[in-house]
Structure 1
Amino acid sequence: MASASQADIDWLVREDANLAQAWVSRCVALGEYFVAREAGEIVGFLRFSRFWGRVPYMEMIRIQPAYRRSGVGTALFVAWEEAMRGEGARLLMTSCECDESRPQDWHHRNGFTETGAIELPGLQSVPEVFFIKHLA
């Protein structure tokens, strides 16, 4: 697991398809992507930002279908968590839609607890559930 580099941008633009290339490039430049590789090829990524400019917020974690449920996502998450802990973070945040049971189960397995939800009319048909994880 490592931070993404400029060489990874084309792959990330393809796989993180809801974002414009300029935004992907910005995130890479700021170190806001972690990538997982298998035999030199990217098999997954984790993108994050900072809520209120301070709290690490995992925006997206996506693993190629052939590598799902093999520990790649958890390894990406652990690498990100350790990096954030190393930067002095004491809290992590993430979210998913309220009707997404598998992502919610993943968050719970990885130590997150629900902290609230918001409705985003016009953007999503169901509320977004937020999760936090306290770091020791």
Structure 2
Amino acid sequence: MQVRYGQSGDLDWLCENDIHVGKDWIKRCLGNQEYVVALQDNKIIGFLRFSFFWGKIPYMDMVWVPEAGRKQGTGTALFNFWEAEMKKVGAKVLMTSSVIHELEPQTWHKKNGFQESGQLHFGNFDPTKEVFFIKNL
């Protein structure tokens, strides 16, 4: 498995698989090197999209692997690459979140060293609470 930052040639695959954001946002993230992709036999098998909370704290927006490829270490490989890259740029903490009722992602975050740090309700935007996690580096 190879892990690298996303590239412009990954756009079509990301548009098909990162269904939570639009093409313009995907292009923006690719331009800012805010995608990490995992490849097997030169084919993308998963991605991690991130941003910076307050413009400073690396925030893992999403890590996604197709159902058939899960529980094979791809998500962890994506996370490990991202964590190492964030350390290189001087990050002191990482941040992520999960919908409150999604226990499997929360368990995965904790397994990768995150600790729950609070919950938010986004009112009319989304009635479901979000659980936030941080990991000190």
Segment of structure 1 superposing worse, 16-25 or 45-54: 16-25
**Unaligned 5+ runs, structure 2:** none
Residue 88 of structure 1 corresponds to which residue in structure 2? 90
Residue 4 of structure 1 corresponds to which residue in structure 2? 6
Q: Deviations over 1:14-60 (max 9, x none)?
A: 10112111110000000000000011100000000000000000000
Residue 28 of structure 2 corresponds to which residue in structure 1? 26
Residue 52 of structure 2 corresponds to which residue in structure 1? 50
Segments of 4+ in structure 1 off by > 6 A?
A: none
TM-score normalised by length of structure 1: 0.97
Residue 6 of structure 1 aligns to which amino acid in structure 2? S
Residue 130 of structure 1 corresponds to which residue in structure 2? 132
Match of 1:102 among 99, 104, 120: 104
Residue 74 of structure 1 corresponds to which residue in structure 2? 76
Q: Distance in 2 between matches of 1:17 and 1:3?
A: 19
Segment of structure 1 superposing worse, 114-123 or 53-62: 114-123
TM-score normalised by length of structure 2: 0.96
Q: Distance in 1 between matches of 2:99 and 2:126?
A: 8
Residue 43 of structure 2 corresponds to which residue in structure 1? 41
Count, aligned residues = 135
Residue 13 of structure 2 aligns to which amino acid in structure 1? W
By how many angstroms is 1:122 displaced?
2.6
**Unaligned 5+ runs, structure 1:** none
Residue 67 of structure 2 aligns to which amino acid in structure 1? P
Secondary structure (helix, strand or coil) at the match of 2:13 reads helix
Secondary structure (helix, strand or coil) at the match of 2:72 reads coil
